[in-house]
Amino acid sequence: MNALTTRPELRKKIVLLSITVIIEGVAFIFFWSVLRKTAATHMQASSASRTSDALPNLLSDLNLILPMSLLAILLGIVCAFYLEEWLSSTSWIRRFIESQVAFLTGIPSLLYGLLAVIIFFGYAGVFKATRTTFQHNTALFYTEMLIFILMVIPVAIKATQEALRSVETPIRESTYALGANRWQVLTQQVIPRAFPQMLAGGCRAMSQAFAAAALLTGIHIWSHTTGLRGLPDRFMLFLGGALLLSNASSFLTEIYVPASTQQN
Protein backbone atom coordinates (compact mmCIF):
# COMPACT_ATOMS: atom_id res chain seq x y z
CA MET A 1 0.00 0.00 0.00
CA ASN A 2 1.20 3.40 -0.88
CA ALA A 3 0.10 5.03 2.31
CA LEU A 4 1.03 6.87 5.44
CA THR A 5 3.51 5.18 7.73
CA THR A 6 2.34 3.90 11.10
CA ARG A 7 1.46 6.53 13.66
CA PRO A 8 4.37 6.29 16.18
CA GLU A 9 6.85 6.20 13.33
CA LEU A 10 5.16 9.21 11.78
CA ARG A 11 5.37 11.15 15.02
CA LYS A 12 9.10 10.44 15.28
CA LYS A 13 9.66 11.56 11.71
CA ILE A 14 7.68 14.76 12.18
CA VAL A 15 9.64 15.64 15.33
CA LEU A 16 12.99 15.06 13.61
CA LEU A 17 12.00 17.03 10.53
CA SER A 18 10.66 19.90 12.64
CA ILE A 19 13.96 20.12 14.54
CA THR A 20 15.80 20.35 11.21
CA VAL A 21 13.46 23.07 10.02
CA ILE A 22 13.90 25.08 13.24
CA ILE A 23 17.71 24.88 13.01
CA GLU A 24 17.57 25.95 9.39
CA GLY A 25 15.25 28.83 10.25
CA VAL A 26 17.55 30.16 12.99
CA ALA A 27 20.61 29.96 10.72
CA PHE A 28 18.62 31.64 7.98
CA ILE A 29 17.53 34.61 10.11
CA PHE A 30 21.06 35.05 11.46
CA PHE A 31 22.49 35.07 7.94
CA TRP A 32 19.86 37.56 6.80
CA SER A 33 20.61 40.04 9.56
CA VAL A 34 24.36 39.83 8.83
CA LEU A 35 23.73 40.37 5.14
CA ARG A 36 21.49 43.37 5.73
CA LYS A 37 24.09 44.99 7.95
CA THR A 38 26.84 44.47 5.36
CA ALA A 39 24.64 45.82 2.59
CA ALA A 40 23.67 48.82 4.71
CA THR A 41 27.31 49.78 5.31
CA HIS A 42 27.99 49.52 1.58
CA MET A 43 25.10 51.73 0.64
CA GLN A 44 25.23 54.43 3.25
CA ALA A 45 25.58 57.11 0.62
CA SER A 46 23.55 55.66 -2.21
CA SER A 47 20.00 55.41 -0.99
CA ALA A 48 18.12 56.38 2.07
CA SER A 49 14.84 54.69 1.23
CA ARG A 50 16.11 51.12 1.08
CA THR A 51 13.83 49.53 3.59
CA SER A 52 10.72 51.14 2.19
CA ASP A 53 11.59 49.71 -1.25
CA ALA A 54 12.13 46.18 -0.06
CA LEU A 55 8.59 44.94 0.31
CA PRO A 56 7.15 45.98 -3.09
CA ASN A 57 10.27 44.57 -4.74
CA LEU A 58 9.83 41.26 -3.02
CA LEU A 59 6.18 41.10 -3.91
CA SER A 60 6.81 41.88 -7.55
CA ASP A 61 9.46 39.18 -7.67
CA LEU A 62 7.09 36.64 -6.18
CA ASN A 63 4.45 37.83 -8.57
CA LEU A 64 6.80 36.99 -11.41
CA ILE A 65 8.28 33.75 -10.18
CA LEU A 66 5.31 31.92 -8.69
CA PRO A 67 3.02 31.92 -11.75
CA MET A 68 5.97 31.11 -13.95
CA SER A 69 7.12 28.11 -11.95
CA LEU A 70 3.57 26.87 -11.45
CA LEU A 71 3.05 27.05 -15.20
CA ALA A 72 6.34 25.24 -15.82
CA ILE A 73 5.45 22.51 -13.31
CA LEU A 74 2.02 22.07 -14.81
CA LEU A 75 3.56 21.76 -18.25
CA GLY A 76 6.04 19.21 -16.87
CA ILE A 77 3.25 17.17 -15.28
CA VAL A 78 1.17 17.16 -18.45
CA CYS A 79 4.23 16.15 -20.44
CA ALA A 80 5.02 13.33 -17.99
CA PHE A 81 1.45 12.02 -18.19
CA TYR A 82 1.66 12.02 -21.94
CA LEU A 83 4.97 10.18 -21.94
CA GLU A 84 4.06 7.65 -19.29
CA GLU A 85 0.42 6.92 -19.94
CA TRP A 86 -0.12 7.48 -23.64
CA LEU A 87 3.15 6.71 -25.41
CA SER A 88 4.42 3.15 -25.38
CA SER A 89 7.86 2.60 -23.90
CA THR A 90 9.21 1.77 -27.34
CA SER A 91 8.10 4.99 -29.02
CA TRP A 92 11.03 7.04 -30.27
CA ILE A 93 9.46 10.35 -29.16
CA ARG A 94 9.41 9.05 -25.61
CA ARG A 95 12.97 7.78 -25.79
CA PHE A 96 14.18 11.09 -27.22
CA ILE A 97 12.40 13.24 -24.60
CA GLU A 98 13.49 10.94 -21.78
CA SER A 99 17.13 11.15 -22.80
CA GLN A 100 16.88 14.94 -22.97
CA VAL A 101 15.21 15.06 -19.57
CA ALA A 102 17.89 12.82 -18.09
CA PHE A 103 20.53 15.12 -19.53
CA LEU A 104 18.91 18.33 -18.25
CA THR A 105 18.13 17.02 -14.75
CA GLY A 106 21.72 15.85 -14.42
CA ILE A 107 23.05 19.42 -14.64
CA PRO A 108 23.55 21.02 -11.21
CA SER A 109 21.49 24.18 -10.72
CA LEU A 110 24.70 26.15 -10.21
CA LEU A 111 25.48 25.73 -13.90
CA TYR A 112 22.09 27.10 -14.87
CA GLY A 113 22.80 30.17 -12.76
CA LEU A 114 26.16 30.61 -14.47
CA LEU A 115 24.51 30.17 -17.86
CA ALA A 116 22.11 32.95 -16.97
CA VAL A 117 25.00 35.18 -15.88
CA ILE A 118 26.80 34.56 -19.15
CA ILE A 119 23.67 35.51 -21.07
CA PHE A 120 23.37 38.64 -18.90
CA PHE A 121 26.90 39.66 -19.67
CA GLY A 122 26.25 38.86 -23.29
CA TYR A 123 23.95 41.87 -23.36
CA ALA A 124 26.75 44.40 -22.99
CA GLY A 125 25.64 47.40 -21.05
CA VAL A 126 22.29 45.90 -20.17
CA PHE A 127 23.56 44.44 -16.98
CA LYS A 128 25.05 47.66 -15.69
CA ALA A 129 21.89 49.53 -16.50
CA THR A 130 19.75 47.35 -14.24
CA ARG A 131 19.57 49.47 -11.20
CA THR A 132 16.20 48.24 -10.08
CA THR A 133 14.28 45.02 -10.48
CA PHE A 134 14.68 42.28 -13.05
CA GLN A 135 11.27 42.63 -14.57
CA HIS A 136 11.84 46.24 -15.59
CA ASN A 137 14.22 44.92 -18.19
CA THR A 138 12.71 42.69 -20.86
CA ALA A 139 15.96 40.98 -21.87
CA LEU A 140 16.66 39.96 -18.30
CA PHE A 141 13.05 38.97 -17.81
CA TYR A 142 13.13 36.55 -20.75
CA THR A 143 16.51 35.16 -19.78
CA GLU A 144 15.30 34.47 -16.32
CA MET A 145 12.15 32.86 -17.65
CA LEU A 146 14.10 30.68 -20.05
CA ILE A 147 16.46 29.48 -17.35
CA PHE A 148 13.52 28.81 -15.08
CA ILE A 149 11.71 26.74 -17.63
CA LEU A 150 14.85 24.90 -18.64
CA MET A 151 15.40 23.99 -15.03
CA VAL A 152 11.93 23.35 -13.66
CA ILE A 153 10.30 21.36 -16.46
CA PRO A 154 12.76 18.43 -16.65
CA VAL A 155 12.74 17.97 -12.89
CA ALA A 156 8.95 18.08 -12.85
CA ILE A 157 8.75 15.58 -15.72
CA LYS A 158 11.11 13.16 -14.06
CA ALA A 159 9.46 13.39 -10.65
CA THR A 160 5.98 12.89 -12.08
CA GLN A 161 7.14 9.95 -14.19
CA GLU A 162 8.67 8.31 -11.14
CA ALA A 163 5.49 8.91 -9.18
CA LEU A 164 3.38 7.35 -11.91
CA ARG A 165 5.69 4.37 -12.17
CA SER A 166 5.48 3.82 -8.43
CA VAL A 167 1.82 2.85 -8.83
CA GLU A 168 2.14 -0.87 -9.27
CA THR A 169 0.97 -2.65 -12.40
CA PRO A 170 -1.24 -5.12 -10.43
CA ILE A 171 -3.29 -2.18 -9.13
CA ARG A 172 -3.84 -0.85 -12.62
CA GLU A 173 -4.55 -4.31 -13.96
CA SER A 174 -7.03 -5.24 -11.29
CA THR A 175 -8.86 -1.99 -11.97
CA TYR A 176 -8.89 -2.70 -15.69
CA ALA A 177 -10.07 -6.25 -14.97
CA LEU A 178 -13.14 -4.81 -13.25
CA GLY A 179 -14.08 -3.11 -16.49
CA ALA A 180 -12.70 0.36 -15.88
CA ASN A 181 -11.60 2.47 -18.80
CA ARG A 182 -8.28 4.22 -19.02
CA TRP A 183 -9.60 7.53 -17.70
CA GLN A 184 -11.20 5.90 -14.64
CA VAL A 185 -8.00 4.02 -13.85
CA LEU A 186 -6.01 7.22 -14.12
CA THR A 187 -8.27 9.48 -12.08
CA GLN A 188 -9.50 7.00 -9.47
CA GLN A 189 -6.42 4.88 -8.84
CA VAL A 190 -3.22 6.24 -10.32
CA ILE A 191 -3.42 9.96 -9.53
CA PRO A 192 -4.56 9.60 -5.89
CA ARG A 193 -1.70 7.18 -5.26
CA ALA A 194 0.93 9.17 -7.13
CA PHE A 195 -0.16 12.59 -5.84
CA PRO A 196 2.11 12.96 -2.75
CA GLN A 197 5.14 12.03 -4.79
CA MET A 198 4.12 14.35 -7.60
CA LEU A 199 3.73 17.16 -5.09
CA ALA A 200 7.17 16.39 -3.62
CA GLY A 201 8.66 16.46 -7.12
CA GLY A 202 7.06 19.82 -7.85
CA CYS A 203 8.47 21.22 -4.61
CA ARG A 204 11.90 19.88 -5.50
CA ALA A 205 11.76 21.47 -8.95
CA MET A 206 10.70 24.86 -7.54
CA SER A 207 13.34 24.64 -4.86
CA GLN A 208 16.06 24.20 -7.49
CA ALA A 209 14.72 27.14 -9.44
CA PHE A 210 14.70 29.32 -6.34
CA ALA A 211 18.26 28.28 -5.50
CA ALA A 212 19.43 29.33 -8.96
CA ALA A 213 17.57 32.62 -8.67
CA ALA A 214 19.24 33.20 -5.30
CA LEU A 215 22.59 32.52 -6.92
CA LEU A 216 21.90 35.04 -9.67
CA THR A 217 20.89 37.69 -7.19
CA GLY A 218 23.92 36.88 -5.07
CA ILE A 219 26.25 37.36 -8.02
CA HIS A 220 24.47 40.62 -8.75
CA ILE A 221 25.02 41.77 -5.17
CA TRP A 222 28.67 40.93 -5.05
CA SER A 223 29.55 42.35 -8.45
CA HIS A 224 27.80 45.71 -7.83
CA THR A 225 28.03 47.54 -4.61
CA THR A 226 25.87 50.40 -5.76
CA GLY A 227 22.19 50.31 -6.52
CA LEU A 228 21.49 47.51 -4.12
CA ARG A 229 17.93 48.49 -3.32
CA GLY A 230 16.24 45.48 -1.82
CA LEU A 231 18.69 42.99 -3.29
CA PRO A 232 19.79 41.32 -0.04
CA ASP A 233 16.15 40.85 0.80
CA ARG A 234 15.48 39.33 -2.57
CA PHE A 235 18.48 37.05 -2.23
CA MET A 236 17.22 35.86 1.10
CA LEU A 237 13.73 35.43 -0.28
CA PHE A 238 14.99 33.09 -2.97
CA LEU A 239 17.24 31.25 -0.57
CA GLY A 240 14.44 30.92 1.97
CA GLY A 241 12.05 29.73 -0.71
CA ALA A 242 14.55 27.12 -1.87
CA LEU A 243 15.06 25.87 1.69
CA LEU A 244 11.36 25.79 2.49
CA LEU A 245 10.44 23.93 -0.68
CA SER A 246 13.22 21.39 -0.35
CA ASN A 247 12.08 20.79 3.21
CA ALA A 248 8.50 20.34 2.05
CA SER A 249 9.70 17.91 -0.59
CA SER A 250 11.66 15.77 1.85
CA PHE A 251 8.76 15.96 4.31
CA LEU A 252 6.40 14.50 1.73
CA THR A 253 8.79 11.78 0.60
CA GLU A 254 9.53 10.84 4.21
CA ILE A 255 5.90 10.59 5.23
CA TYR A 256 4.60 8.71 2.22
CA VAL A 257 6.30 5.36 1.81
CA PRO A 258 6.09 3.79 -1.63
CA ALA A 259 4.49 0.39 -1.82
CA SER A 260 7.58 -1.59 -2.71
CA THR A 261 9.40 -0.78 0.52
CA GLN A 262 6.50 -1.27 2.90
CA GLN A 263 4.99 -4.52 1.74
CA ASN A 264 6.64 -7.17 -0.34
Partner 1 sequence: MQTEKEQPILSIRDLNAWYGDNQILKSLSFEVQQRQVTALIGPTKCGKSALVRCINRLNDFTPDFRFTGEILFKGSDMYAKKTDTAAIRKQVGMVFRKPRPFQCSIYENVAYGARISGINRTSQLDTIVQKSLQKTGLWDEIEPILDGTPEQLSTGQQQLLCIARALAVEPEILIFDEPCGELDPIETVKIETLVRDLTNDYTLIFVTNKRRQAARVSDSAGFLYCGELIEFGTTEKIFSNPQDTRTEQYVTGRLG
Greatest Cα-to-Cα distance within the chain, rounded to the nearest angstrom:
74
For residue 162, which of 252, 256, 247, 258 has the smallest C-alpha distance? 258
| From candidates 50, 158, 193, 229, binder to partner 1 by CB under 8 A | 193
Q: By CB under 8 A, is residue 171 in contact with partner 1?
A: yes
Strand partners, 4: 256
Q: By CB under 8 A, is residue 2 in contact with partner 1?
A: yes
Q: By CB under 8 A, is residue 41 in contact with partner 1?
A: no
**68: amino acid identity, one letter:** M
| From candidates 41, 49, 89, 138, binder to partner 1 by CB under 8 A | 89
- When the beta carbons of 43 and 185 are compared against partner 1, the nearer one is 185
Cα–Cα distances in angstroms (integers) from residue 157 to residues 70, 76, 100, 186, in the given order: 13, 5, 11, 17
For residue 122, which of 105, 139, 141 has the smallest C-alpha distance? 139
Count other C-beta atoms under 10 Å from residue 119's C-beta.
18
Q: By CB under 8 A, is residue 170 in contact with partner 1?
A: yes
Backbone angles phi, psi at 257, to 5 degrees: -100, 125
Q: By CB under 8 A, is residue 181 in contact with partner 1?
A: yes
Stretch that binds partner 1, among 48-56, 124-132, 173-181, 199-207 (CB under 8 A): 173-181
- When the beta carbons of 41 and 264 are compared against partner 1, the nearer one is 264
| DSSP code of residue 84 | I
For residue 113, which of 213, 253, 230 has the smallest C-alpha distance? 213
For residue 64, which of 135, 146, 151, 119 has the smallest C-alpha distance? 135
Residues 44, 39: Cα–Cα separation, whole Å: 9
How many residues touch partner 1 (CB under 8 A)? 24
Stretch that binds partner 1, among 99-107, 140-148, 179-187, 212-220 (CB under 8 A): 179-187
- Torsion sign across C-alpha atoms 30, 233, 216, 155: positive
Q: By CB under 8 A, is residue 23 in contact with partner 1?
A: no
Q: By CB under 8 A, is residue 1 in contact with partner 1?
A: yes
Q: By CB under 8 A, is residue 188 in contact with partner 1?
A: yes
Stretch that binds partner 1, among 73-81, 108-116, 120-128, 177-185 (CB under 8 A): 177-185
- Minimum CB separation of residue 189 from partner 1 in Å reads 7
Bridge pairing between strands 3-4 and 256-257: antiparallel
- Minimum CB separation of residue 225 from partner 1 in Å reads 57
- When the beta carbons of 145 and 255 are compared against partner 1, the nearer one is 255
| From candidates 125, 177, 222, 261, binder to partner 1 by CB under 8 A | 177
Q: By CB under 8 A, is residue 168 in contact with partner 1?
A: yes
Interface with partner 1 by CB under 8 A: which residues?
A: 1-3, 88-90, 168, 170-181, 184, 188-189, 192-193
